Structures are given as structure tokens and as C-alpha cells.
Amino acid sequence: MLDKLLLAKNTVYYSDKQLDAISRGFCPNCLPKHSPYRILGTYYDENLKINLYHIKCDNLVQCEWDDEIPATRVDPGLEDFFNS
């Protein structure tokens, strides 16, 4: 699951419901039907200083949604568990 706060910070044009769909791996334009999106690639953005996913809706026939989202996942709290 992607971090919704990071998504909201870097994508200003999505509603809360759409951000929730993106964070769970679904296209925000295909709601209420939950079509997954596919990750086309990952790259590092120098301006934002984070990795971004280039994603596209899996429903290629009916939806043309294509965007970039942060490639950072929610921290489960175990980041430095094994290093302590």
C-alpha cells in the first residue's frame, strides 16, 4: 500500500477517494469498478528527490489514465529492527 500522505503531497488534483484507490493499487478514474493499474517503469525525480512509478490503468480499452506516483511504501515500523 502506498503512503496516502506522500501521494496527496505530490499529486494535488485527486480527491480523497481517488487517493485511497491509488494507494490500494487501483485506477482512480475507474471508480466504483476497481481496475488495477500496471507499473510501466520507475525513475528518480531530481526535483522531488524521490523515486516515481510511471503507471497506467490496466483497462486499456475504456480508460486512458496515465500518471506518475511516488514509489515509497508505508513504513511498517520494522525499518531498523534488524540493525538495532
Q: Is residue 83 exposed (0-12), middle (13-18) or buried (19+ Cβ within 10 Å)?
A: exposed
In the predicted model, is pLDDT for residue 6 greater than 70? no
When pLDDT is averaged across residues 31-42 and rounded to a whole number, the result is 89
Mean pLDDT score across all residues of the chain: 79
Q: What is the pLDDT confidence band of residue 71, given thresholds at 50, 70 and 90?
A: confident
pTM (predicted TM-score): 0.70
8 A C-beta contact, residue 2 and residue 23: yes
Cβ pair 76, 67 in contact under 8 A: no
